[in-house]
Chain A
Amino acid sequence: NAGVTQTPKFQVLKTGQSMTLQCAQDMNHEYMSWYRQDPGMGLRLIHYSVGAGITDQGEVPNGYNVSRSTTEDFPLRLLSAAPSQTSVYFCASRTSVSYEQYFGPGTRLTVT
């Protein structure tokens, strides 16, 4: 099993550009989430999904979109990048009956 994979590992964007962060898991987990982590801070939940076709907002959803067309994939779209979105983004997955969540390696995003 590859677990949770994320691409790219690093990305630099200019203000106003859009992009998609990719996330995939091969553990057949129902739940998937996106978090952002700013320097020296804990993780904040952006969006989550409880299954294919079902998504909802977390704590800090503004400026981001998600979709879940398959169990395996959960891409995060930045609509119009802003410097405030400079952060490390983590994707995670788990089953519906456990808090044992598996995290990807993260994407370090810089918006200039």
Chain B
Amino acid sequence: LAKTTQPISMDSYEGQEVNITCSHNNIATNDYITWYQQFPSQGPRFIIQGYKTKVTNEVASLFIPADRKSSTLSLPRVSLSDTAVYYCLVGSPMFSGGYNKLIFGAGTRLAVHP
């Protein structure tokens, strides 16, 4: 599985756009990039997944450059309720050799201030 590196923590203010970058230099051809969000005392929640270029849903956007060695999760106009830990994962869910383990790193702790 590709190793990922992301900032340990970030601070922002309500109404700002937040960009969290994840580095994954050894990403494989079949790997997808997946982001999860975790609030205190809850299990992680899937946010977004992408393979290349840009993916957008009602919660966030995911930007992936052509070389795919990094990705950026973009949260538009954050609010206090976006305070959470954000995890970047890289892997291929359709690996034909069997189960492809989802490995969570330490994540990025985002604090949104009033």
Chain A residue contacts of B99, Cβ below 8 A = 31, 48, 50, 56
Closest Cβ of chain B to A48, distance in Å, is 6
**Within residues 23 to 52 of chain A, which ones have a CB less than 8 A from any CB in chain B?**
31, 33, 35, 41-45, 48, 50
Chain B residue contacts of A105, Cβ below 8 A = 42-43
| One of B34, B43, B87, B107 near A90 (C-beta < 8 A) | B43
Closest A residue, CB atoms, query B44: A103
Residues of A in contact (CB 8 Å), total 28
Where the two chains meet, the residues of A that have a C-beta atom closer than 8 Å to any C-beta of B are 4, 31, 33, 35, 41-45, 48, 50, 56, 58-59, 90, 92, 94, 96-106
27 contacts between A and B (CB under 8 A): A4-B43, A33-B102, A42-B87, A42-B104, A43-B104, A45-B101, A45-B103, A48-B101, A56-B99, A58-B101, A90-B44, A92-B43, A96-B94, A97-B93, A97-B94, A98-B49, A99-B34, A99-B89, A99-B91, A99-B102, A103-B42, A103-B44, A104-B43, A105-B42, A106-B41, A106-B42, A106-B43
